Amino acid sequence: MENMNATPMASRFAIGLFGKRNAGKSSLINAITGQDIAITSDVPGTTTDPVYKAMELLPIGPVVLIDTAGLDDVDGLGALRVEKTYEVLRKCNLAIVAVDVQLGISEFEAEFIEQLKRRKVPSVCVLNKCDKGVLDAGELEKLKELAGIPLICASTINGFGIDEIKKQIVANSGFEDAEPALVSDLIHAGDIAVLVTPIDKSAPKGRLILPQQQTIRDIIESDAMVIVTKEHELKLTLERLKTPPAIVITDSQAFLKVSADTPPGIPMTSFSILFARQKADLAEMVRGVRRIEKLAPGDKVLIVEGCTHHRQSDDIGKVKIPRWIRQIAGGGIEFEWASGACFPKDISGYAVIIHCGGCMLNRREMQYRVQKARERSTSVTNYGILIAYVMGILPRALRPFPPANLALEEVEPIK
């Protein structure tokens, strides 16, 4: 479980290290962090599963470095490791391709670099182990042309080039490009925001869940004030405020009661919908919810959660959502589930994908999943959007988001 006092992994700038076995990826991780984090060895294939190391890299801020298995590990279990490596690539904000300077760029690195370009992942190429050999200017120029991305000579033995790697990470990171707002653009300094956080048997002990923590932080950073209450105390909370709040944000499962207790003039939405807007494509997910009513017997629905947890008897993904869908579309619908980093390679067989808010996934991973659904013409929606739709309050839940309202006009209400 993540340290509740640390920046969540999903909010860190993700830097993946890729390359063939024994290219020195783990040594580069250790050199960049200044710590012996990753196990290193002259034996090819020492790194099998991805290894994550969180650190601060200024001026970017919190980052996570991800060590991966070799791109040329293609035999037996190695093929599965390479598949995991490509899963890591989906979430990377920047890629470092490590190349053994004595071996040069092979077909493995060349093909991978082309993948990076196609996916528009900022990247740099590191010619590692330069202590063992130096390229002349002509050879270096040829490699630069072959790579087509920034190229750095480095050695983890004597530290040569490590500072330049850090500079190139910063220069190619685009860290100044702000991530879409969570809630800060919906409030002003001095405003009050009310958060509704049900405490039921599925709630973790002693803390708020990650979406609630992040929303509180965003509100505070906006110089606004936040009041946290449970759904049964919301009405009293609003009555005691001298001025109405700028917004009420609720857990989606309390939508119906919160909608009833919140005066019509006060904007209201859910944590899940906020995250759909920040990390995915809110309009696309609003359009996707209309597919629910058109489901027919034999259609397959994929329910996806970005984390793994012990499921309760009334679990929203395993129990409640399938029940609501059957109530709308009738019987005969087939359900499948995926969680964590696992996302099916082939989604063409699904009529609709219903995704959680994605608080444990970074924006690149969520964008990848939505884009993949778009390419396969598979409808995709989100827990909060689906619940608001089922409860008949989707127009109200989307009122704070004008662009999503345009997509809402395309959605047929439940009859």
pTM beyond 0.75: the answer is: yes
* Residue 165 or 137, more confident: 165
Q: Is residue 251 part of a domain?
A: yes
Q: What is the pLDDT of residues 363-404, one digit of tens each?
A: 999 999 999 999 999 999 999 999 999 999 999 999 999 888
Phi-psi region of 358 (alpha: psi -120 to 50; beta: other; left: phi over 0): left
Q: Is residue 1 part of a domain?
A: no
- 22 and 160 share one domain: yes
CATH value at residue 72 = 3.40.50.300
The set of residues, in sequence order, having a beta carbon less than 8 Å from that of 51 and lying 6+ positions away, is 26, 29, 37, 38, 66, 67
Coil, strand, or helix at residue 161? coil
Angle between helices 271-279 and 383-391 (to 10 degrees): 130
- 380 and 325 share one domain: yes
Return the half-sphere exposure (C-beta side, CA atoms, 13 A cut-off) of residue 47.
Answer: 30
Identify whether the C-beta of residue 214 lies closer than 8 Å to the C-beta of residue 179: no
pLDDT at 172 over 80: yes
pLDDT at 4 over 90: no
CA distances from 307 to 279, 304, 343 (A): 15, 9, 12
pLDDT at 258 over 90: yes
- 45 and 106 share one domain: yes
- 157 and 260 share one domain: no
Number of domains within the chain: 3
CA 77 to chain centroid: 27
- Average pLDDT of the chain, as a whole number: 88
CATH value at residue 312 = 3.40.50.11410
Q: What is the pLDDT of residues 129-148, one digit of tens each?
A: 988 766 666 767 777 777 78
- 15 and 151 share one domain: yes
Range of the domain at 262: 184-273
Strand segments, DSSP code E, in 281-378 are 300-305, 334-339, 352-355
- Can you give the pLDDT at residue 5? 57
- Can you give the pLDDT at residue 249? 98
- 148 and 253 share one domain: no
- 323 and 298 share one domain: yes
Q: Is residue 215 part of a domain?
A: yes
Identify whether the C-beta of residue 6 lies closer than 8 Å to the C-beta of residue 53: no
Look up residue 355 and give its two tokens.
């995704």
Number of CB atoms found within 10 A of residue 182's CB: 22
Q: What is the pLDDT of residues 277-329, one digit of tens each?
A: 999 999 999 999 999 999 999 999 999 998 876 566 678 999 999 999 999 99
- Can you give the pLDDT at residue 1? 44
Number of CB atoms found within 10 A of residue 364's CB: 17
Angle at 333 between CA 328 and CA 339, to 5 degrees: 100
* Residue 410 or 398, more confident: 398
- 19 and 167 share one domain: yes
pLDDT at 243 over 60: yes
* Residue 335 or 175, more confident: 335
Look up residue 72 and give its two tokens.
């040329």
CATH value at residue 267 = 3.40.50.11420
Identify whether the C-beta of residue 306 lies closer than 8 Å to the C-beta of residue 272: no
- Can you give the pLDDT at residue 230? 96
Between 3-7, 186-190, 269-273, the lowest mean confidence (pLDDT) is in 3-7
Look up residue 131 and give its two tokens.
């202590």
- Can you give the pLDDT at residue 310? 59
- 65 and 37 share one domain: yes
Between 51-55, 76-80, 90-94, 97-101, the lowest mean confidence (pLDDT) is in 76-80
Euclidean distance between the first and the last CA atom of the chain, given in angstroms as a whole number: 43
Number of CB atoms found within 10 A of residue 391's CB: 17
